Structures are given as C-alpha cells and as structure tokens.
Amino acid sequence: MIKFLDLHKINERFHPEFQLKFQEFLDSGYYILGQGVQTFEEEFAKFCGTTFAIGVGNGLDAITLILKGYVALGKLQEQDEVLVPANTYIASVLAILQAGLKPVFVEPDLETYNISVSDLEQKISSKTKAILAVHLYGQLAEIDAIQNCANQNNLLIIEDAAQAHGAVYHDGRKAGNLGHAAAFSFYPSKNLGALGDGGAVTTNNEELANTIKKLRNYGTTSKYVNELVGCNSRLDEIQALFLSVKLNRLEADNDVRRKIANRYLANIKNNKIILPLYTGLASHVFHLFVVRVAQRDHFMSYTKKHLIETLNHYPVPPHKQEALIDFNHLKLPITEQIHNTIVSLPISPVMESHDVDYLINVLNAY
C-alpha cells in the first residue's frame, strides 16, 4: 500500500534530535513562550527573509490575528471586503469572518489552481481593502500581478502561506515575504509540520508584529496589563523546539518533493489525467500534487484497487459548505469544476523511488 502521506516515517528521521530537545525542555522547566519559541521565531524570520516572525497556536489563528491586528491598528474596519480564492481550504475564509470582515470569493486559474488575477480585478469594489493570496498546493500565487492590482487600489496583501513554506519567488524572495504579512501553519502534514498544532505570522511591519504579539497573549503588553481584546494563541514551547530541528531539513525536503513532481510530470502520459502547470522553478514546493480527472470517483477506486491512496483537496468548496450558508447561492463555475475533478497523488520527502515508478505505471495503464 502506498500511503498518501507517511507522517511517522517523515518524523522518524528526527527522533534522536527530538529526544535531545525534549530532555532540554524537561530540564528547563519553562513551558510557555520560553527560549524555544523565541529561538524558533528568530530562525523562521531569518529563513523567510522577514524582520519578524511571531509564533501562534495554528494557521487559522495566524490569518485571523493578522486581520485582527490590522483592525486594531485602524487599517481595516468591520465589513471591509477581503478578496480570497474560492477554492482555498475553508480556514482562509473562516479567518476573514472571525475578524469581522467580509470574504469576496474569486475564481482560480484552471491551470495553476491559484487566484485568477483577471477575476480578482473584476471583484474589486469601493469596500475592498485586502487580498488574501493563498499559495495553494505549495505554488506561489502570481505576486507581481497581484501587487500591481493592490498598488492601484490601495489594498493590503496578506499571504496564506500555510502550504508553501520555503517556496522561492523568481526575484529570490520567499513565501512569507511577498506581501504585508503572511500566515503559516505547522499542522503535522504541512511541508514544515510540528508534532501537534502550531502556526506563525511573518512580517516586516514592526507595528503589526507588536500588535500580534500582544493579541496572541490576551492583548497583554506586560504582565496583567491588557491593552487589547486579545486571545490565547501561543506557539507551544515543545512544538517550537521540534520545529527548529525540522527547519534545518526543509529545503532538502522541498527539493525531494520537486524531484518527485518532475518525475510525475515527465512520465505520467495519459490523456485522461490532466497534470498541473509547473514552471520548473522553486516557486512550487509541492505540498500537494493535484491532477484532474473527469471520472474522478472511478479513477480513485482504480488507484485504491492498485493500493495507491489518493485524496481530494478539497471535495466541497467553502461557498458550498453548510457552515457558510450565506454564500451557498454564489455561482463559481471554475471553482466547482475544480472541486469535482481534482485528485491529490501521494508525494512526500520520504516516498520511495520504486513507489514513484509504480504509481507512474499504474496511472499510465488507467
């Protein structure tokens, strides 16, 4: 059986280092916002090329805290509109709602699955104040075009980089350093995954960074002094220690993902399977390798019969979910087409070479 993702195998490579870090943690007796979080924040900011990184509880909170931070700073106001790709994971949309803002769904590009800049331009109104640019499946959104659009309309650019740790833009800047602020998730299955929940915000804006540092910890400036209506969303100390270990390996792991993706792209030759568009640059870290197949259910039972586990990211778009009933009436045909046909193939830094070959053969025989 080729598992979709073998998290145990991914993390096993780090077990000896994790054990040392855990002993360090036990010895320190310091459990919340200690040296481990501070060190990881510094390392992650350096990795992304930003001045600041703030560790938070998870990816959803990272997005929410950026938006709430801008609200606290008076840069966003309740009911301001935030443009978001309609085919994203629901967390992007929930964060906008939780910050008291209004999501406006934008169609993706059918080839890259990332936000369509032409539809983006059409959806801008006088209330539009920000773009939540999601780097979906690990591929950077078209930042140059988004930036032009944002400049012309005075919009904030916030990256949802939850799937794109380490992706490099053509000008050398990394995910996390391509807008005004960026949100990361360290959910275990992400390219940089913790052994539990975790997230971070990166930014070069000192005012925003300070505000988010307060918001994540009850709005506190110093002990028992509450300046803002904050929440409790701190990156856990143990997770920060583990993440520091794994960060060292992230670029090598992303290289392996790209190598596997290139093998799929070069060798899967079946006109029933539409491969994703990939420019060949480091701007894609292949968090997921997503193909499109017209007879999706038939294809998935075929791969299952051949002991290959495939998944859908995601089977139902946010605007069709019961939780977002106010948006159920929206018509987003490209998004719906994508959701009806996409299939994610196994890809990971610990996938065996012979399994890649086997998968290619099975798919070519479909």
Ligand X SMILES: *Cc1c(COP(=O)(O)O)cnc(C)c1O
List interacting residues with ligand X (CB under 6 A): 58-60, 88-89, 91-92, 134, 160, 162-163, 185, 187, 197, 199
Residue 345 has phi, psi (to 5 degrees) of -95, 155
Q: Round to whole Å and give the CA distance between 258 and 264.
A: 10
223 and 66 Cβ atoms separated by less than 8 Å = no
Closest by Cα among 295, 272, 292 to 339? 292
Closest by Cα among 195, 133, 194 to 164? 133
Q: What's the farthest any 2 CA atoms get from each other in the chain?
A: 65
Which residue is closest to ligand X by CB? 59
| Nearer of residues 107 and 197 to ligand X, judged by Cβ | 197
Q: How far is the CB of 164 from ligand X (least distance, A)?
A: 9
165 and 174 Cβ atoms separated by less than 8 Å = no
Q: Round to whole Å and give the CA distance between 344 and 288.
A: 6
Q: How far is the CB of 66 from ligand X (least distance, A)?
A: 12
Give the number of other Cβ atoms within 10 Å of residue 171's Cβ: 8
Q: How far is the CB of 57 from ligand X (least distance, A)?
A: 8
Q: How far is the CB of 92 from ligand X (least distance, A)?
A: 5
| Nearer of residues 192 and 291 to ligand X, judged by Cβ | 192
| Nearer of residues 162 and 192 to ligand X, judged by Cβ | 162
| Nearer of residues 134 and 209 to ligand X, judged by Cβ | 134
| Nearer of residues 11 and 359 to ligand X, judged by Cβ | 11
Q: Round to whole Å and give the CA distance between 205 and 226.
A: 22
| Nearer of residues 10 and 360 to ligand X, judged by Cβ | 10
Q: How far is the CB of 163 from ligand X (least distance, A)?
A: 5
Who contacts 46 (Cβ-Cβ below 8 Å, separation ≥6)?
none
Q: What angle do CA 53, 49, 163 make, to 5 degrees?
A: 70
Q: How far is the CB of 294 from ligand X (least distance, A)?
A: 26
